[in-house]
Chain A
Amino acid sequence: MATAQLVRATAARAAAAAPLGLTSWRRPALRALSIGLFLLAWHAATLWDLDFYVRFQNIPSPGDVLAEAIELFSSWSFYGHILASLERIWLGFAIATVLGVALGLLIGWFAFAEDTLLPPIELFRPIPAVAWVPISIMLWPTERSSIVFITTLGAFFPIVLNTIHGVEGIDRQLVRAATSLGAGRAAIFREVVLPGALPSIVTGLSVGMGVSWICLISAEMISGQFGVGYFTWVAYGIVKYAQIVVGMLTIGVLGMLSSLVVRLVGARCMPWLPRREKDGA
């Protein structure tokens, strides 16, 4: 163990080489200051109803938004919208993950699968998932299923393409090593191809999660009767401008948390990857 610990300890020391007392509070303070300045600018713009081509007359102030948020989060109906959106995201994302990873592994590894499965994927890939909304409404019996379909579609392409990319990038020498250690075809797939493609798969999942949120919100705004996207769009219609901003912020926070979950689970599954640290961290 000694040397491995030494290697890790040396890396940690190199990262901590910057003068400690200074950096420990400086960066968090800078970040807080940056957000504070932004809020101040926003507040000022709405306070003086700024109008320099961009118009702030109808824009709610940070205070309005905070008051509205407190009110919304103390009633049940807003949670209903959040739950509806979360359910659609995770359902769509899960389906896209299963399909995307399975197809990506096959296409990446077997030439026959590449020839038969890749052409239709390449054909549909350039079409943004949102453009599918009308067809999706006709195709699927319920609002829920049609929106889940759009969400799935959005996540599917980045996942499948990154999986293919990951499989194609696998070092052939590792495959040779495995065969000369007695691995058969199934074992190579399980022990080499899958873990070898995993970093790329996780990248695909991370990108896919972001895209599926975009698709979900767009689909809800266009065709929904439920969900945070629908809520935000309706708030505009009924002139509840502070609600729009609460809806936007909620979408942002939910999207961020979902990506965080994907990244944490990904890092969990790949303990062999070194953690990167930035200069002056």
Chain B
Amino acid sequence: MVVAPDRPTGRIEITDLGVAFSRDDRRVEAVRRFTLMTTPGEFVALLGPSGCGKTTVLNAVAGFVQPTVGRVVVDGEPVREPGADRGVVFQQHSLFPWKTVLANVEFGLKMRGIGPTERSAQARSYLNLVGLAGFERAYPGELSGGMQQRVGIARVLVNRPRVMLMDEPFGAVDAQTRLAMQELLLGVWREVKTTVLFVTHDIDEAIFLADRVAVMTARPGQIRDLMPVKLPRPRPAEVITTPEFMALKARVLAQVREESGRAWVEPRP
């Protein structure tokens, strides 16, 4: 059984975030004055030209990188380090190859000190949720890319995170599978109702999934525009052919085009 938390949590507050790296004695500003608030249980997609700092924003929320300036707060607590309350689904190859599918999903529960019987039962219910019942004893190397990503989602959700951070999670799967994965993700998200911050290059994907679509500027990235997606849920796959969808897509596309152009043309500071 998958139980949603009594009170939805997962309010992300990113205020004036700036992250700079030093590389070969040069300062590279990845993100500058990035501000984004989510409501609990919201699905926000992050779009932007390549190298604009999307991953960096996600990493700051995950606690993998420290802000140079600004604040990242989740449910009132400033982010200091990585933790199970902020789960991360990576683009690919992030399952532990030496653990079975079941052991991968059980990992977070094991870290919390939950006993073997209980954690197996919980992990199985989440595997069920992502449609992988029966694959418990397989190793990640025996699964297709799409199946591995589903295990990655189950492994995060079993921890009941406040937020799930997804960095182009379907970027490496083929187009057919990607569509099925998107529908599966929406189904799962309806059950668990956690906040999702979803980075993608795919405009259709962003609009199909999200409550709001954020478009970032070229590096150093900040929010250029934040657009609500007013398509009703549950959304059938055909929603992408409706005029509302098309109109929004045209708007987002124009912005992404412009920023991508700037990312190519402007000399990097």
- Which residues from chain A sit less than 8 Å from chain B, CB to CB? 1-4, 7-8, 171, 173-174, 176-184, 187, 191-192, 195-196, 198, 270-272, 274
Please pick, from B82, B112, B134, the residue contacting A176 in the complex, using a CB distance under 8 A: B82
B205 nearest CB across to chain A (Å): 22
Q: B85-114: contact bitstring with A at CB < 8 Å (1 yes, 0 no)?
A: 011101001111111000000011001100
In the complex, what's the smallest C-beta–C-beta distance from A124 to chain B, in angstroms?
32
Nearest residue in B to A192 (C-beta to C-beta)? B96
Q: A2's contact among B95, B134, B137, by CB below 8 Å, is which?
A: B134
Q: Which residues of B contact A171 (CB under 8 A)?
A: 93
Is B159 at the interface (CB under 8 A from chain A)? yes
Contact A4–B108 (Cβ < 8 Å): no
Q: Which 8 A-B pairs have the closest CB atoms?
A: A182-B84, A4-B138, A182-B111, A179-B82, A195-B98, A181-B108, A272-B139, A180-B82
* Residues of A with C-beta under 8 A to B70: none
> Which of chain B's residues 56-91 have a Cβ closer than 8 Å to chain A?
62-64, 81-84, 86-88, 90
Minimum CB distance partner of A269 in chain B: B98
Distance between Cα atoms of A196 and B98 in the complex (Å): 8
- The contact sample of 11 A-B pairs, CB cut-off 8 A, is A1-B137, A173-B94, A174-B94, A177-B95, A180-B88, A181-B87, A181-B108, A181-B156, A182-B111, A196-B98, A271-B139
Let me know if B84 and A181 touch, CB within 8 A: yes
Q: Smallest Cβ distance from A191 to chain B, in angstroms?
A: 7
The chain A residue sitting closest to B84, CB to CB, is A182
In the bound complex, CA of A178 to CA of B138 (Å): 20
CA of A270 to CA of B64 in the docked complex: distance in angstroms?
30
Contact across chains for B96 and A176 when beta carbons are under 8 A apart: no
- CB-nearest residue of chain A to B112: A182
Chain A residue at minimal CB-CB distance from B155: A181
Query: Within 8 Å of chain A (Cβ to Cβ): is B144?
Result: yes
Contact with A along B132-175 (1 / 0, CB 8 A): 00110111111110010000000110010000000000000000
Give the CA-CA distance A196 to B82 in the complex, in Å.
21
A-B interface pairs (CB < 8 A), number: 83
Point out the residues of chain A lying under 8 angstroms from B86, CB to CB.
180
Q: Which residues of B come within 8 Å of A, CB atoms?
A: 62-64, 81-84, 86-88, 90, 93-99, 107-108, 111-112, 134-135, 137-144, 147, 155-156, 159
In contact, B144 and A3 (Cβ under 8 angstroms): yes
Interface of B, helix, strand, loop or mixed by DSSP: loop
Report the bound CA distance from A4 to B132 in whole Å: 11
B97: chain A residues at CB < 8 Å are 272
Q: A181-B155, A182-B83 are in contact. Are A176 and B64 (CB under 8 A)?
A: yes
Question: How distant is B83 from chain A, measured CB to nearest CB, in Å?
Answer: 6
Cα A259 to Cα B246 with chains together (Å): 65
- Do the beta carbons of A272 and B141 come within 8 Å of each other? yes
8 Å CB contact of B111 from A4, A7, A187, A195: A187
A8 touches B142 (CB 8 A): yes
In whole angstroms, how far apart are the Cα atoms of A177 and B83 in the complex?
A: 10
Asked, given contacts A180-B87, A181-B155, A191-B96, whether A1 binds B82 with beta carbons under 8 Å apart, the answer is no
Is A182 a contact of B159 with CB atoms below 8 Å?
yes
A7 to B143, CA, bound (A): 8
Given A181-B84, A181-B108, 12 more pairs with CB closer than 8 A: A7-B142, A7-B143, A174-B94, A176-B90, A179-B63, A179-B83, A180-B87, A181-B87, A181-B107, A183-B107, A183-B111, A195-B99
A4 touches B142 (CB 8 A): yes
Report the separation of the CA atoms of residues A171 and B140 in the bound assembly, to the nearest whole angstrom.
15
When the two chains form the complex, which single residue of A1, A180, A196, A274 contacts B134, counting CB atoms closer than 8 Å?
A1
Give bound CA distance, A280 to B215, whole Å: 55
Residue of B nearest to A2 (CB): B134
Distance in angstroms between the alpha carbons of A181 and B123 in the assembled complex? 14
In the bound complex, residues from chain B placing their C-beta under 8 Å from that of A2 are 134
Chain A residue nearest in CB terms to B152: A177
| Chain B nearest CB, measured from A174 CB (Å) | 6
B94 and chain A: residue at smallest CB distance: A177
Contact of A272 among B98, B134, B144 (CB under 8 A): B98
Q: List, in ascending order, chain A residues with CB within 8 A of B81's CB.
A: 179
